[in-house]
């Protein structure tokens, strides 16, 4: 700890960090490096520590302060000089709603996502065992996710979009929860409705816990029998969540009807138009968008901007007014989108501009002119006076980026 990394051995893609030069000042960074494929590093002792703290020579002791340096009172008693008290470090409040930039909120969002995944594993286990879920066990999680979104509306969704395939179901639930909360806030729903929207997104797929993993991970078309098993997750979730007797009706309706479509082509009841509840119409968009942009065992996820275009083209399936609100919630160029700049560089979108969704903050990483990676730097397109701009959306496949999931994760975590 405290060493300055000057160079890491091996392929750039094997490095656990976006930057190869950095000061190790976080225990989690150190453990990540030790667990990586990097076999050795060079350190710069002029910019960081040389030896481990236990090996370093003890610093010379400062001379004792003169305890009799100032008279006090008539009796000549003395007091010691005292330095200023150390600053009080207040712990982070996970329910704080004070705005934070995406980079700062990503730190808290990562911790929240890891904690929430463990909680979701327990919920899915309870579903398989038939143990009823108590609402009070979920209130804190919903409140913390909602607070993260209010601190920065895009950081938590960016974290959960980078899914580990072994945790797909749990992270998908967290992603849809965050999307539902953002969409409900965009629609200016009441605080109670926002919380119910998040709860519905979190729980609507618990019935998938009863579907064999080899079925929903299958990389070939499902048989009619397998498809019927998958579709049963809606009714299974509804029946399971109704057991506790305290789940809001709106949440139960989403669990049952989030796969219904406006033209009647959905399931399980083939509902049309206004027959589908508002929360279920919201969930249909959030669920589909997250599934489209997620990497699975058998396919790479769509670029977020491309997914929005595909949803927009499917006008007969999704509520158009709700979709417009959804687009405002995630941005025209959602975080994680790959774009090409006028400066002939590829960049990733790292933060939104609430005043103009066409001018996000981007992080260029590759020069098309030099055919080489470039130093990461953030460009606020709303404040660069036209020096650069987005020319087109791009897709990782269009540039043969087979390592895009890992690369995008490093880019999003890079220091701006």
Per-residue pLDDT tens digits for 291-344? 998 877 767 778 888 899 999 999 899 999 999 999 989 888 888 889 999 999
Angle formed at CA 293 by CA 288 and CA 298, multiple of 5 degrees: 100
Decide: 202 and 333 in contact? Cβ < 8 Å: no
d(CA 272, CA 13): 48
Instruction: Output the pTM of the full model.
Output: 0.72
Per-residue pLDDT tens digits for 338-384? 999 999 999 999 888 878 888 999 999 999 998 888 987 899 999 88
Q: In sequence order, what DSSP letters do the residues of 346-402 get, joined into one string?
A: EEEEEE--TT-TTS-EEEEEEETTTTEE-----EETTSSTTS--EEEE--GGGGT-T
pLDDT for res 416: 43
Please state, rounded to an integer, the average pLDDT across all residues of the chain.
83
**Taking 70 as the threshold, does the pLDDT of residue 49 lie above it?**
yes
Specify which residues 280 forms β-bridges with.
Answer: none
Per-residue pLDDT tens digits for 103-145? 788 889 989 999 999 999 988 888 888 887 877 778 889 999 9
Per-residue pLDDT tens digits for 193-218? 999 999 999 999 999 988 887 787 77
CA distances in angstroms from 121 to 56, 189, 261, 375, listed in the order given: 44, 29, 29, 39
d(CA 196, CA 214): 32
Higher-scoring residue by pLDDT: 56, 177: 177
**Taking 90 as the threshold, does the pLDDT of residue 51 lie above it?**
no
Cis peptide leading into residue 268 (ω within 30°) = yes
Residue with tokens 């930057």: 19
d(CA 366, CA 346): 5
d(CA 289, CA 172): 11
272 DSSP 8-state letter: B
Per-residue pLDDT tens digits for 29-46? 788 788 777 788 888 888
The stretch 67-90 carries a mean pLDDT of 47
In the chain the domains, ranked by start, together with CATH numbers, are 4-43 (no CATH), 102-330 (1.10.3210.10), 338-413 (no CATH)
**Taking 60 as the threshold, does the pLDDT of residue 85 lie above it?**
no
Specify which residues 351 forms β-bridges with.
Answer: 361
Q: Which of 408, 356, 410, 363 is nearest to 388 (CA)?
A: 363
d(CA 337, CA 332): 10
Q: Which of 100, 184, 104 is nearest to 146 (CA)?
A: 184
Least confident of 167-181, 280-294, 334-348, 397-411: 397-411
């Amino acid at each position: 700890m405290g060493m300055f990394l000057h160079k890491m051995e091996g392929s750039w893609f094997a490095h656990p960090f976006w930057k190869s030069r950095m000061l190790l000042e976080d225990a989690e960074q150190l453990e990540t490096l030790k667990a990586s494929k990097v076999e050795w590093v060079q350190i710069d002792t002029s910019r960081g520590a040389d030896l481990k703290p236990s090996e370093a020579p003890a610093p010379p002791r400062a001379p004792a302060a003169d305890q009799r340096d100032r008279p006090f009172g008539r009796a000549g008693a003395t007091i010691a000089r005292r330095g200023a008290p150390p600053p009080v470090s207040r712990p982070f409040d996970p329910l704080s709603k004070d705005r934070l930039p995406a980079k700062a909120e990503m730190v808290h969002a990562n911790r929240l996502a890891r904690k929430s995944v463990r909680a979701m594993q327990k919920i899915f286990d309870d579903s398989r065992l038939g143990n009823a879920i108590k609402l009070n066990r979920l209130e804190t999680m919903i409140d913390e996710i909602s607070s993260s979104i209010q601190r920065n509306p895009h950081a938590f969704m960016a974290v959960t979009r980078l899914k580990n395939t072994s945790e797909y179901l749990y992270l998908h639930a967290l992603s849809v929860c965050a999307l539902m909360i953002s969409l409900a806030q965009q629609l200016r729903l009441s605080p109670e409705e926002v919380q119910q929207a998040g709860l519905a997104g979190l729980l609507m797929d618990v019935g998938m816990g009863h579907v064999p993993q080899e079925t929903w991970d299958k990389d070939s078309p499902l048989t009619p029998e397998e498809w019927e098993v998958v579709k049963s997750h809606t009714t299974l979730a509804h029946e399971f969540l109704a057991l506790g007797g305290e789940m809001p009706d709106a949440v139960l309706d989403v669990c049952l009807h989030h796969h219904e479509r406006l033209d009647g082509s959905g399931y399980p009841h083939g509902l049309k138009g206004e027959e589908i509840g508002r929360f279920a119409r919201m969930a249909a968009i959030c669920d589909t968008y997250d599934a489209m942009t997620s990497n699975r065992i058998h396919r790479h996820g769509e670029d977020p901007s491309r997914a929005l275009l595909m949803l927009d083209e499917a006008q007969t399936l999704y509520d158009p007014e709700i979709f417009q609100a959804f687009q405002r919630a995630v941005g025209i160029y959602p975080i994680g989108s790959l774009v090409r700049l006028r400066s002939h560089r590829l960049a990733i979108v790292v933060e939104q501009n609430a005043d103009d969704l066409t001018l996000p903050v981007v992080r260029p990483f590759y020069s098309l002119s030099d055919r080489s990676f470039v130093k990461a730097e953030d460009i606020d397109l709303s404040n660069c006076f036209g020096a650069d701009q987005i020319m087109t959306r791009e897709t990782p496949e269009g540039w043969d980026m087979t390592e895009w999931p890992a690369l995008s994760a490093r880019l999003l975590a890079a220091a701006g």
